[in-house]
Structure formats: structure tokens, C-alpha cells
Structure 1
Amino acid sequence: MAKPVKPVTARGEQTRQKLLQAAEQEFGEKGFHTASISSITQRAGVAQGTFYIYYASKEDIFKALVKDMGRKMRHFLTEATEGITDRLEIERKGLVFFLQFALQHKNLYRIVMECQFIDEATYRDYYEGMAEVYAGRLKRAQETGQIREGDAHAQAWVLMGIAVFMGMRYSIWEDALPPQAVLDTATDFIASGLTP
């Protein structure tokens, strides 16, 4: 399987981004098996041959999309919590910002969930990569006494689980952020689990 081409020009990167955005819409609306390369290129407004400059197949762009969405989400959360030094406050704000991200990127859930059946390695990398970064940050917070000691990886997976299922319940199914009472309950639960 060919490795996706990394564009060398700004125009090439714009084209690649257009393809990824179109793929997000196509896979999110239709699912992997019904989606087609021709529909992706139509949505992107590029010739079908252009697709193959960047991706060898529908599977390639799907996997690249999952990785790209993971990067965008991590970047969004990092920027949203930048400047906050208290770990519990980062967790509170991070949960709200994740739910906002999920609300703005509803296709994320369908695409990531479907990925486990299309390419399990990419699916696992999506969550394991996120957990690895998260655990590192939690470990640093443990070392400074901001949160209780324990297995930082276990803490990361638990916190990710809370966010993923709250995102599904509210951002996806309800198409809204949770009521304040729900957010307060969730963040109190998180604080109780992490406070030293």
C-alpha cells in the first residue's frame, strides 16, 4: 500500500485538506462501504486523478482521515487549555471543549467507530496515541502533587471514556452540550477521582 504523499507546496496542502474535508463529510454521512472516491473528489472540487496523487485508495484516505481528526482534536484541546496550570481545571475545561469539538465534528464518532472494522491498527493507534500523551500529562501532574498518585495510563483511559460517552450522549445524540447540572456532576466525579 502506498504511503500518502506529503505535499511540498501550499497549494498541494490545500488540495490535500480539501480531500480530507470532503472525505470527512462522505464517510460521516454514508459510511465507509457506501462512500466512493468519485464522490469525495466531487465534494472536494478536484479531478478524480488528483486523488491518486495523494492517496492510493479509499482505505488510505480513510486511515489518513482518522489520524488527521485525532491530531486536530488534540491540537484543539491543547490550544483551548493553554495557559491553565491547574490539572483539575484543565480536566474541567478540557471536557467542555471536547464536547464542543464533538458537536462541531459529528462525523468524528461515526468515522472512528467504523475504523475498528476497516483497519483495527489505525483505530487502536487513535486511542492509544491519545492515551499515551494524556498519561504523560497526568504523570507530571502527579509528580507536582496536583492529582493523586496511581497508574497514569489507567487514569487517562478512564477520563477518555467519560469524555467519549458524554460526547456520544450529548454532542451526537442530543446535538447540544449537556445541561450545566450534568457537567457539574461529571466534573465533580472527575475531581473526586483525581484530588490527592
Structure 2
Amino acid sequence: MFEAEASEFQKAGIKIGADQTETEQQLLAEALAPFPVGIRNKSLEMARLYSVLFAFENHVRDFIRETLTESEGVDWLDKLPQKIRQHAENRQQTAIKDSWLEGEKTDLLGFLDFGHLAQLILTKWEHFESIIPSQHWLKQRMDELEKSRNFIAHNRMLLPSEFQRMYMYIADWNRVVGL
């Protein structure tokens, strides 16, 4: 009952309980505190870019899933090119064997490499061509984003111009798919 009442107060702009944002910021500051200031500052810059990339990459996966479910039916996974499907299944089996590692292990698309996402769209182009401007448009942007993504995934710092390129390509994608 209290939670229902608290929700109504929060909707009205009245703060109830701890501010989660402030708590998260404090926890992050504490976790970063042992490291030199320069590394902490760079990590915070990269964290913002990682967050945008995380959202983008997972949106592309959802976009593929929704498009193929709508056009090929709920068994669309069975119709994936064998090489792509086998790659994802092998990585999924490895994740399952690593039982100590907790996390999402059921979504087959989550086990595809970033580069496979564009490859999958191109392979199933007839289902995407009414949304995506051209195969060249898709390949160029996804190839560029993959290179930057790999820098980020291996904890290397990007220059500000690369930040802008990533933001621009992701904004292009969002505009095209209607986000």
C-alpha cells in the first residue's frame, strides 16, 4: 500500500526515499576513487559513449528480431544462414558451459558479433529494403561503427572526432528506422 501511495507522490514531483541517481553517482565515484584523475575523467567520457553504443547495438538486435518475426514468422531463427546461426550457437554453448558467469544466455542474437548484424540484414535484405536506404548505406555505417566499437570494447580511448562520428551514424540510424 505504501508503494502505491509513494508512487502517486513521486508523480506529483514530491521526493520519497533516496535519490537513486545521486546514489548511483556516489557509488561510481567511490569505485573510481583509487584511480588517477586522468584515467577517471577518460573513463567517464567513454562511459557515456559506451551507453549510447550499448543502446544502439541492442536496438539493432531488437529491430532485426521484430522485422524477421513479422516477415518470416516466429520460427525465423530456423531460417538464419547456417554459418551465422552456427557461430551464435557455438558462443551460446560456451556461455552455458561457463555456468559461473551469470547473464543473459537465451537470446541467440545476443551471441552474434556486431559485424554479423549487418551481414544478417544484408542476407535478408528483402525484409529490410523498405526501411534502410541502401545496402551501401548500411554497410558503410556499420563497418565504421564496428571499428569504433572495438576500440571501446578493448578499453582504448577515442578522439572527440570519433565520438562525433559515432553519434552522427547512430542518429542517422535512429532517423531512418523511426526512433
TM-score for the superposition, normalised by structure 1:
0.28
Greater RCO structure (CA 8 Å; 6+ sep): 1
Bigger Cα Rg: 2
TM-score for the superposition, normalised by structure 2:
0.30
